[in-house]
Structure 1
Amino acid sequence: MHVTDALPDTRQRGLKPTLPKGMERDGFIALIDAVAPVLGVGNAALATFRAMVSTTRPSAFKSAQDEPCCYKSQTEIAKELHKTAARIREHERELQRAGLIELRTMANGARSGYANCGVFFSVAIARVEEFIAMRHEIEARRREHGRLRGLRSSHLRHIKSCLAELIERYGQCAEVTAIMQSFEDWPSHDRLHRMPLEDLADHEADADALCAAALDLLQSGPESSAEPHENERSYIQDTTQDSINVVCNASDKTSADKSAHSTSSDDPPNGVSSCKEKDDEGVERAHNSEILSKIPLQHFLPLASEDMRMHLDIRRQGRSTLHLHDFTVAAQHRLPELGISSSAWTDAVATMGEETATWCVLITDAKSTGPAPEVSSPGGYLRGMTKKYREGHLNIVGSLIGLSERSACH
């Protein structure tokens, strides 16, 4: 019996599935590429799938009266891909199990365009919406994986600095040794990339907790130095209503006013126009960093947006204090919520250092939210701040003062 005689009436007379509007054959191939690992399709079978799809007419994917089909024999496909026919048969079975192809052949297994027998792709086309949702989930998990790796990088920087200070102060005491042993069990950076998302999330939470324990020990140790550690200076208790009142000079004040009231506030804050360090970018940066390092951390909290304060409140549950590490983690939680790409944060950290980048995100966040947001593109604003820092013209202190004055007005 002819193969078409055996087909159900719906297949012979019904409308064929088509690609959604805006998607062409190449977009369909790219979609299958993205979801293939989830479907259990290996790279070799995927290459065979691409080769077979490439033999079809692109218009067949858009016509409800047509159906894309590869009529080439397994031997022909094998020759093109430098494989054996047996290997192509294995690939076809793999693609069938994944629901990407349907084989309709003659009784002897032959394929023919005249007899309309071959490898058909309608089963995959009918699942395009499912595959699109699957790709969105894959991309969301990929972004989350990258976000967690970024947080782990922050934990790594903080724990290394904190351990060095702890060893210098207390030597190999039991508490320090326990933290060191836990730290030594952390997976390497390369291994992080291979970790399943769920395992990475568990590790990031453990690493965060270890950082908090190390910082708490550094702060509350019996022989704690009067000089605060760079990562735990001026810790926050429950008093959080103080405001920043630090001014470089009169020009800082002017710049702060402009930052707080400018009508074109998508532009990052400019540097001091008449500060005596203006001609020396390195000195100006050091001057601003010195001012920031002298500001107690509790003064930053009232300047943060409500959303960032929520993240900080969550981190403070069960604890009496917050550290700089908490602000850095909260800032990274706000990145996707603000639509700021991970690359913008990575560039900011590489250019300005993690602490300065943290305050830049706090400023960007505060200016992007609230009843009267001043910044419409948080990602562009952060990149602009990074650019101005690189040029030596970023006035972070002035911008913080502007936020303080705006907060006082409200």
Structure 2
Amino acid sequence: MAEAILEARQHISFPSLPQGMERDGFVALIDAVAPLLGVRSAALATFRTMIGATRPSAFKSGEEEPCCYLAQSEIAKKRKVSPSRIRADEVQLVAAGLIEKRTMGNGARSGFVGCGVYFSVAIKRCQEFLALREGIEEGRQQHAKLRGLRSIHKKHLKSCLAELIAEHGLAAEVQDIADAFEAWPSADKLHRMSLEELEAHVAEADALCTAALDLLQAMSETHGGPHENERSYIQDTTQDFNEVPCNASVDQQSAGKPAPSNVEDAAPSGAPSCREEKAGAGDAEHKSKILTNIPIQTFIPLASEEMRFYLDARRLGRGGWSSLHLHDFTVAALCRLPELGINRSAWDDAVRKMGVEGATWCVFILDAKAGDPDTPIVSPGGYLRAMTRRHEEGTLNIVGGLIGLSMRQNAE
């Protein structure tokens, strides 16, 4: 009879971790999802102590069931807490579905009789926990993206307000915008906002920034100032780009060819004497040197379909393409970053070194080239970093890159 029972146990298959996951990786997974399961830090520390007393191989083979046979007093000694603390933690872990307690009538635990704390109940939920962690990571990335958008809104609005006040004083409309801006939460407070709260605030910040830019444009037109997005005469796209103030020559033969995918050759080259290259983060953030000389309508056909989607969404209800500002292109570029697989640090580095406008047009250019079937960009993030290095070296020619897009589009 005993031999039959032993043989039956040998054929039992226990839950095991997904292929490639080790015990420590499983513990890290539980760490990540614990807040969603209602597990506090103290109980999580007890869970780690108990699972650390098991054999790592038991989580992978399926031939044995991972179990901690330590008594509560022993776990308490390892944790340097009272046994009552361990009892409370175990209640919490059982309720969260992370452990199952199988003890003798007096609560004793022993490996000889198979009594202890088992982890199969948590192992069975591994796919559920993986999905939860993925959702947490997506939420974290979305939160970071929204904070980045708020940063851009703040840069452009602060710059725009300074010009509004300098040119038109504290008119009623300007004062209203300034008061609303002063009420914005600090950057530190953004981190403590829920995703829903942050989304609502960023939408309001975007609307306020756009209102300020529209007001500045309207006041400039009323007082006879230049319209950033209008020109009296346009012959063709290539001429528009060639008229951008720049003393450096552009290689017209290579400008229309697709850029190589090698990131070291990613950015179009050009002499550093272009006025645009001297533009840095210290200039008025909301102004665009390029859009001052080239009408916005020129850029729309050059943008990727995905970029046009974001630009089109922003122009709806605002009087057509000419109502867009540099701000809209920057927001569209930020929306494209995760879709292109570009790490946020690459964008932040580009903004620090070449200003918001420079970073915006770099993303615009690489985004338009990313889908080229002949020479696709293998690493958009590496491409952007290469463009940033070219800027530091004084060889980045953004206008040349835009000319290349224009000539390629005309050739198609």
Tell me the TM-score range normalised by the shorter chain: 0.7 to 0.9
User: For residues 295 and 42 of structure 2, what CA distance do their matches in structure 1 show?
Assistant: 55
Aligned match for 1:190, one of 188, 199, 204: 188
1:293 shift after superposition: 5.8
Whether 2:74 is the aligned partner of 1:71: answer no
User: Normalised by the size of structure 2, how large is the TM-score?
Assistant: 0.87
Summarize deviations over 1:117-173 as a string: whole Å, max 9, x none.
Answer: 111100000000111111111111111110010000000001101111112223222
> Which of 30, 33, 45 matches 1:32?
30
Structure 1 residues 349 and 284 mapped into 2: Cα distance closer, same or farther (>3 Å)?
closer
Aligned partner (choices 248, 256, 263) of residue 260 of structure 1: 256
Rate the CA distance shift 1:291–1:218 in 2: closer, same or farther, 3 A: closer
Whole-Å separation in 1 of the counterparts to 2:259 and 2:337: 24
Match for 1:198: what amino acid?
E
Name the aligned partner's letter for residue 68 of structure 2: C
Aligned partners of 1:260, 1:68: CA distance in 2, in Å?
63
Q: How far apart are 1:58 and its partner, in Å? A: 0.7
Answer with 397-406 or 296-305: which moved more: 296-305
Equivalent pairs counted in the alignment come to 390
**1:272·1:393 contact (CA, 8 Å) conserved in 2?**
yes
Q: Which moved more, 1:291-300 or 1:397-406?
A: 291-300
SS in 1 for 2:267: coil
Q: Please give the TM-score of this superposition, normalised by the length of structure 1.
A: 0.87
Shift of 1:176: 1.3
> Does residue 233 in structure 1 map to residue 228 in structure 2?
yes
CA contact (8 A) 2:260 2:375 kept: no
**Could you tell me how far apart the structure 2 residues matched to 1:201 and 1:326 are?**
17
Instruction: Give the RMSD, CA atoms, in angstroms.
Output: 2.8
Aligned match of 2:123: 125
What per-residue deviation string (whole Å, max 9, x for no partner) do you get for residues 186-215 of structure 1?
111011111111111111111101111111
Tell me if the contact between 1:235 and 1:323 (Cα under 8 Å) persists in the aligned partners: no
Return the alpha-carbon distance in structure 2 between the equivalents of residues 160 and 297 of structure 1.
24
Structure 1: give runs of 5+ residues left out of the alignment: none
Distance in 2, matches of 1:386 and 1:130, equals 41
How do 1:95-174 and structure 2 match up within 5 A?
Answer: 95-174=93-172
State whether residues 260 and 266 of structure 2, in contact with CA within 8 Å, keep that contact through their aligned partners in structure 1.
no
Secondary structure of residue in 1 paired with 2:249: helix
Q: Identity across aligned pairs (percent)?
A: 54
Alignment partner of 1:302 is 2:295? no
Amino acid at match of 1:234: N
Residue number in structure 2 paired with 1:93: 91
For structure 2, which runs of at least 5 residues remain unmatched after alignment?
none
Q: Does 1:384 align with 2:386?
A: yes
One-letter code aligned to 2:310: H
Q: Give the structure 2 partner of residue 16 of structure 1.
A: 14
Displacement, 1:318? 0.5
Q: Counterparts of 1:291 and 1:222 in 2: how far apart (Å)?
A: 17
The 1-side partners of 2:133 and 2:183 are apart by 34
Assess, with a 3 A threshold, how the Cα gap between structure 1 residues 205 and 249 changes in structure 2: closer, same or farther: closer
